[in-house]
Amino acid sequence: MSIPVLAMVALLPILVALVLMVGMRWPSTKAMPLAWLVCALGAIGAWNLPVGYVTALSLQGIVIAIGVLIIVFGAIIILYTLKYSGGMETIQYGMQNISRDKRIQAIIIGYMFAAFIEGAAGFGTPAALAAPLLLSLGFPPLAAAVICLVFNSFPVSFGAVGTPILVGLKFLGPLAKTAVEAGTPGLNFVDFGSFAKVIGQWVTMMHGPMVVILPIFMLGFLTRFFGKNKSWSEGFAAWQFCIFAAVAFLVPYLTFAWLVGPEFPSLIGGLVGLGIIVAGAKAGFCVPKDTWDFGPQSTWDADWTGTIATSTSTEFKPHMSQFKAWLPYILIGAILVVTRIPELGLKAVLAAQKLPFTDILGYKGVSASIDYLYLPGTIPFMLVAILTIAIHGMKGEAVKQAWSESFVKMKAPTIALFAAVALVSIFRGSGVADAALNPNNYPSMPLAMAKTVAAIAGNAWPMLASYVGGLGAFITGSNTVSDLLFAEFQWGVAQQLELPRQIIVAAQVAGGAMGNMVCIHNIVAVCAVTGLIGREGMILKRTFWPFMLYGVVVGIIASLMSFVFLPNLF
């Protein structure tokens, strides 16, 4: 069977998910199991994979999904613990004292606070934490979900202390070394660390313009689709604060990427930027004179809301000090940093604690594990939720309500994520290098799609390379896994077309980051914490256009670097 035909087969489950969720508005709880079935049948029928092997891959996906669900549950339990302790209303009170303008709140929480959390933890954590916080401040659930998904893009390449680059590109190390030894122009890496640093530098150049453009665009998007006047200009009116926030983030972001490496750009950029813009907002610096809000909930479209109620209060009362109310989030940030920096020693200890599932159903290499202590859902989320009981002096009935409601909210995302991640596992495992399992030696499903697109694109590849990274993130739910899937392919295409390999790989990394906006994995997770399970297609329709815009900007930069700037340097 030809590669293009295989690519069409591989595309079918994605089309099924898109048509059912976006076109027919099916909930992910129904659409994703059907998409998984189509994927499994394609793997058995077109790839000739054994039924037992496909079953093992699906079980592997379920094990991986359990890890994701632990993160989602941890984010939900933090939300409900703060709700019933009075901490959330205190935060709302303090946030309104910073600014009552929902545009400013969107930038502080969705843009900057989430960037810090992404830099520390990654893997969908920012949207799971930031979206409920926006919800509690009076944002419609749909608006909170879209804002947080779209903003969780430019920090992702350096998320989880640089994991997408340091882990996602690990298989490029030998290829880069060979290219350096061959005297390839522009490649002068000493070791993998210096290679990763250079890739990170180019990635910041691709993200840089969108760090500025995205907040302005999304505030216009917010006021156009969720404002009572349906006006883009009301959002654009806050452009000065957006640029202020972008500069506050970009300076440390670029500084650490270019001088230190890929571990800290997003973490430090988000932390430093958050302090700067909160102080600026309090002082009224670059803040619009008028205050913008969504209007009364009675005027909202029914599609904007879900099963978790948006705060209806216009006035909030403090139940404790602001420090005590924010202390759970401060602890989360501090614990994430301490447990994610290898040199501090805790990362290795926590990561070593695993519940392994090795060679599932006897198929060698089909393995997974649940890192029950290293997952942010347990440490710090659930740990901090337990500590908050004492910190906020919660009574037994309040604790019981918080935990019982959190468990109830887990039913729908469990079904959707089991199916979605099982599908991803089949995608990744379909290209196994084993004649008994893959008798035709076919490439994996994602690789078949990428090869087909590359053959058609030719020298236009720099414009399209980021979309392959986005496709990887859409399928797998991870920038890191997208890079693991496609980085070697991107390197090979660049070599074949005589394009600067470091630029094409950087476009892959940037594309994997922007793919977080549209990946089913993240959409289901954020729907779970905002009570929007069943509205995944509606969210995907709204995040698709920022995703496309992001890819155009990255493509233009990659093309200029490939054909104008870099060739003149060597």
Segment 516-554, tens digit of pLDDT: 999 877 888 788 878 888 888 889 999 999 999 999 999
Strand partners, 357: 368
Residue with tokens 């994991």: 163
Are the beta carbons of 522 and 124 closer than 8 angstroms?
yes
Confidence of residue 122 (pLDDT cuts 50, 70, 90): low
Neighbours of 386 (CB within 10 A): 14
Confidence of residue 570 (pLDDT cuts 50, 70, 90): very low
Q: Cα 420 to the chain's mean position, in Å?
A: 15
CA distance 359 to 63: 13
Please write the tens of the pLDDT for every residue from 16-54: 887 887 778 787 788 889 999 999 999 999 999 999 999
Please write the tens of the pLDDT for every residue from 167-204: 788 778 777 778 777 777 666 666 788 889 999 999 99
Amino acid identity, position 76: I
Please enumerate in sequence order all residues whose Cβ is within 8 A of that of 19, keeping only pairs 6 or more positions apart, or say none.
Answer: none
pLDDT of residue 444: 86
Percentage of the chain modeled with pLDDT above 70: 95
Asked whether the predicted pLDDT for residue 555 surpasses 90, the reply is yes
Neighbours of 322 (CB within 10 A): 15
pLDDT of residue 26: 81
Confidence of residue 313 (pLDDT cuts 50, 70, 90): low
Mean pLDDT of 242-255: 97
pLDDT of residue 193: 80
Please write the tens of the pLDDT for every residue from 442-467: 988 888 887 888 888 888 999 999 99
Mean pLDDT of 272-297: 93
Please write the tens of the pLDDT for every residue from 143-155: 999 999 999 999 9
Mean pLDDT of 402-431: 83
Mean pLDDT of 128-142: 86
48 backbone φψ class: left, alpha, beta (φ>0; ψ -120 to 50)? left
Q: Average pLDDT, whole number, for the chain?
A: 87
pLDDT-wise least confident of 355-369, 376-390, 405-419: 405-419
- Claim: this prediction has a pTM higher than 0.75: yes
317 backbone φψ class: left, alpha, beta (φ>0; ψ -120 to 50)? beta
User: 76 or 146: whose pLDDT is higher?
Assistant: 146
**Buried-state track 465-485, b at ≥16 Cβ within 10 A, e below 16:** bbbbbbbbbbbbbbbbbbbbb
